[in-house]
Structure 1
């Protein structure tokens, strides 16, 4: 007995049947058209995915590594400025909010430092008055000196009377509206959490152990951050398609923020120019001018109602982003390696666990080591020197089995800040004790550091060329030249690996 096959159950509802009415036929044909449209869309998506995958396979993939604030984001901005300028121009105005936030952050940091020092000074003088006679100081009978009368030591702010006046209290009061503006801008952008973790230290360079005086607990301010999934830039640059550029309330908040910043401009300028404020910042080592996102020297221009960011402003701007960022570039070269993908996986200790998952299928690693921070400590762990931390990361990269055949490129970054710091009299040998009695200048210090990083690469047992560049990511002209050299080297290495070179 033969079995009559039943029709395909998936198309049963689309087949005509006996006695079909005109309305049913119309409905059936509409369903057929919709089903075909869905099928065609799936086929087209599969085709596009295949093309994208082929392009991804052929693309030059670069992984940027380095500790937090090493200059990775600024380096990527330089790539965008040089190789994707049209997109850069479209997004440049969106950075106005970030630059305003950077300026306000500097002001609120100064106010927080002033408040803390004022309180400590007030409490200290009260204790002194209770325990000592009016003719004696609390410190072995030595008179308290105003801060301008002597050079401050590393932790000497506890022993100095700063000459605060009613003018400083008035400035604090007049600048209070900026606290609300900062909160409004951060709420508009959206925040992300930051979590520190712990890692070991390295013995490659001898660093002095922190003594009891310098290692007292330091207050760490949580840096504002956004998630990589936050579309703040798209909203501000108008890339959200059918969505409105900004909600009415958000647009009004941004307008109000610009107006308040403008009206506070003269007070911000007065605060930054004040001699006592500068003495407090120097005494507490709050080096605002050495950090990215510093615009206190451009107050008049940045607070203007009609302010528009320049290329250099965007390069300087600072916005910490949590998560892995992926940047695509189409770089004409006629070599078959026009598509580039740059990955920034974050540099905080909490982000480093994710690094190894990106070591596969990449062409090169660009590692940024900020050499100007030889006298600074990690925000996550104040017992670890930042230069020591960079050396530890470099050692890990050099010894990683997953990166055995990967080209490593080292950027000794922030050379401009290193030169400024050494020129101001800060001694490199005070923080790197086996530097010896070599000259305290940029050529000698960078030569020493090159040898240290090179030795780690050589000791890894992998015979690789040592590519090292002295960089200042904030110097766009110099970085353009460096990136052109790096581009040529990466392309040549990629072709060499593909056995295209004779």
Structure 2
């Protein structure tokens, strides 16, 4: 039987021992190299230490927010940018101008498609409605539907050019053939913030671009030229009562695009530049993850950095992001409660409100995010009120709504109670959770918090977001009075946390016995 020899020598020793036959000169050179390596290593360690310290100081001046939700994130981000960094849109108005135009074109495609459907459904009558459908134009002239469609064809044709530019020169699938037919209007998606670069690079390349708004008014390919040339036909079509009746009969709500249609005289002007309110009301779907960083530009908090993370609204992306955001200051989730009668674009079997509820359950029950404060905006309340006022029944799409009144106060309270119940059932009892009714297309009128002293980072994120919300609800004076009094700040946090303030001052008659899920 052979004996196994075990060696307990240092495994690194043979690599560190001097080479055999080393001369004094070679030894001196080797030691010199070792000292140089030690010096370089010490410099690297010192640089890493300094970088960690600098990062820690930056974190003390940062607020990080994770934005979640199927809809409304971009508008919420625009609200934050407009109020906290007053110069953020200075070089982006040319980009947003194109989005406004695209929203207008999409609305007119919807209108023309609705009219074509209406005429087709009654084409068997002895006298074709197409002969009777007459639009009154300026100057006493008239145009039938077919003629009106032909007159507006240049407007429909520029859609593909706008979409290509928004997508960095890539054709959108529904417009790649350049056809201006009345195909089903599709919401255009762009990736992150890259879509703005095409317009900004054009601004720098064009010597004629206005220094203030970045728009080259002499550009022959400017879509505003075509819209301006077709403005009379567009306004006549939109203002026609028969058109409005058709849209109402087919239950077509143009949502925020309706705001632009009511402003056609201004928007189709030859030198139109979008206002802040216009930018807030634009609709542009973003996909993929993106990070938005901006710095406060005024007040004692000047220089404070906000980081907003948007991980995309797709249902398939949700399981992957949670481990990367367990250290954010707050998660802001948006649930569009006006979408109770709509389905998801990517899955027609899923109701949009149901999808928001599922996301809220996932957030509240996620153990990785158990210590992260949650802020839920039950968003698009203005659209919810418009739908209910137009006669859309909640009970038809949400059977558990029962025989309650089909009005905004009752419906909004009902939806809020459901989300509050989910919070109680699935979220840790010690977690900070805030739920509010909002409409992010309402422009914040002022920012009183710019004169506040810098609070602890986490409190700052939550309090500023709540102040913004309460400003939307016209509670500016009461909040400002509380903020000016240091002794009231802690009570303010407690009131906001319990929801007592909103219940007492903005929502009288709240029912306490709403049935839960």
* TM-score past 0.5 threshold: yes
* Structure 1 counterpart of 2:205: 244
* Structure 2 counterpart of 1:184: 161
Contact 1:471 1:479 in 2 (8 A): no
Q: Could you report, residue by residue, the CA deviation over 1:178-229 in whole angstroms, capped at 9, with x for unpaired residues?
A: 122111122222267999xxxxxxxxxxxxxxxxxxxxxxx96432222226
Per the TM alignment, residue 302 of structure 1 is displaced from its structure 2 partner at its CA by 0.3
Per the TM alignment, residue 457 of structure 1 is displaced from its structure 2 partner at its CA by 0.9
* Structure 1 counterpart of 2:389: 423
* Structure 2 counterpart of 1:309: 274
Check if 1:345 corresponds to 2:311. Answer: yes
* Structure 2 counterpart of 1:90: 91
Q: Which of 270-279 and 399-408 deviates more? A: 270-279
Which of 64, 89, 106 is the equivalent residue of 2:67? 64
Contact 1:162 1:280 in 2 (8 A): no
Counterparts of 1:134-145 in structure 2, within 5 Å, are none
Change (3 A) 1:482 1:409: farther
* Structure 2 counterpart of 1:438: 404
Change (3 A) 1:490 1:467: farther
* Number of equivalent positions: 403
Per the TM alignment, residue 361 of structure 1 is displaced from its structure 2 partner at its CA by 1.8
Q: Distance in 1 between matches of 2:120 and 2:324?
A: 48
Which of 259, 284, 293 is the equivalent residue of 2:250? 284
Change (3 A) 1:442 1:482: farther
Per the TM alignment, residue 303 of structure 1 is displaced from its structure 2 partner at its CA by 0.5
Contact 2:300 2:451 in 1 (8 A): no
Q: Distance in 2 between matches of 1:458 and 1:361?
A: 23
Change (3 A) 1:75 1:96: same
Contact 1:472 1:479 in 2 (8 A): no
Contact 2:67 2:333 in 1 (8 A): yes
Q: Distance in 1 between matches of 2:340 and 2:50?
A: 52
* Structure 1 counterpart of 2:334: 368
Check if 1:169 corresponds to 2:146. Answer: yes
Per the TM alignment, residue 323 of structure 1 is displaced from its structure 2 partner at its CA by 1.6
* Structure 1 counterpart of 2:101: 100
Change (3 A) 1:6 1:73: farther
Change (3 A) 1:336 1:96: closer
Which of 175, 192, 195 is the equivalent residue of 1:228? 192
Contact 1:61 1:364 in 2 (8 A): yes
Contact 2:110 2:184 in 1 (8 A): no
Q: Give the secondary structure class of the aligned counterpart of 1:172.
A: helix
Q: CA RMSD in A?
A: 4.3
* Structure 2 counterpart of 1:476: 443
Change (3 A) 1:292 1:246: farther
Contact 1:374 1:385 in 2 (8 A): yes
Q: Give the secondary structure class of the aligned counterpart of 2:306.
A: strand
Per the TM alignment, residue 454 of structure 1 is displaced from its structure 2 partner at its CA by 1.0
Q: Could you report, residue by residue, the CA deviation over 1:81-122 in whole angstroms, capped at 9, with x for unpaired residues?
A: 110112233333431111112111211222233334444544
Which of 355, 363, 378 is the equivalent residue of 1:397? 363
Any stretches of 5+ residues in structure 2 without a counterpart? 1-20, 31-42, 135-142, 174-182, 210-214, 464-489, 491-517
Per the TM alignment, residue 74 of structure 1 is displaced from its structure 2 partner at its CA by 0.7
Q: Which of 404-413 and 219-228 deviates more? A: 219-228
Contact 1:293 1:316 in 2 (8 A): no
Contact 2:66 2:309 in 1 (8 A): yes
* Structure 1 counterpart of 2:508: none
* Structure 2 counterpart of 1:322: 287
Q: Could you report, residue by residue, the CA deviation over 1:269-314 in whole angstroms, capped at 9, with x for unpaired residues?
A: 11112233223322332211x2458511110000001111111011
Q: Relative contact order, CA 8 A, sep 6+: which one is greater?
A: 1
Per the TM alignment, residue 355 of structure 1 is displaced from its structure 2 partner at its CA by 3.5
Q: Distance in 1 between matches of 2:148 and 2:451?
A: 47
Q: Distance in 1 between matches of 2:424 and 2:432?
A: 9
Change (3 A) 1:188 1:63: same
Q: Distance in 2 between matches of 1:256 and 1:401?
A: 52
Q: Give the secondary structure class of the aligned counterpart of 2:383.
A: helix
Q: Distance in 2 between matches of 1:495 and 1:471?
A: 16
Per the TM alignment, residue 60 of structure 1 is displaced from its structure 2 partner at its CA by 1.9
Check if 1:261 corresponds to 2:224. Answer: no
Contact 2:295 2:306 in 1 (8 A): yes
Contact 1:71 1:473 in 2 (8 A): yes
* Structure 2 counterpart of 1:298: 263
Contact 1:328 1:341 in 2 (8 A): yes
Per the TM alignment, residue 437 of structure 1 is displaced from its structure 2 partner at its CA by 2.5
Q: Distance in 2 between matches of 1:346 and 1:479?
A: 29
Q: Distance in 1 between matches of 2:396 and 2:131?
A: 28
Contact 1:71 1:413 in 2 (8 A): yes
Contact 2:166 2:198 in 1 (8 A): no
Per the TM alignment, residue 477 of structure 1 is displaced from its structure 2 partner at its CA by 2.5
Q: Distance in 2 between matches of 1:45 and 1:104?
A: 53
Q: Could you report, residue by residue, the CA deviation over 1:435-478 in whole angstroms, capped at 9, with x for unpaired residues?
A: 22222222222222221111111111511344111111011137
Change (3 A) 1:480 1:284: farther
Per the TM alignment, residue 168 of structure 1 is displaced from its structure 2 partner at its CA by 0.9
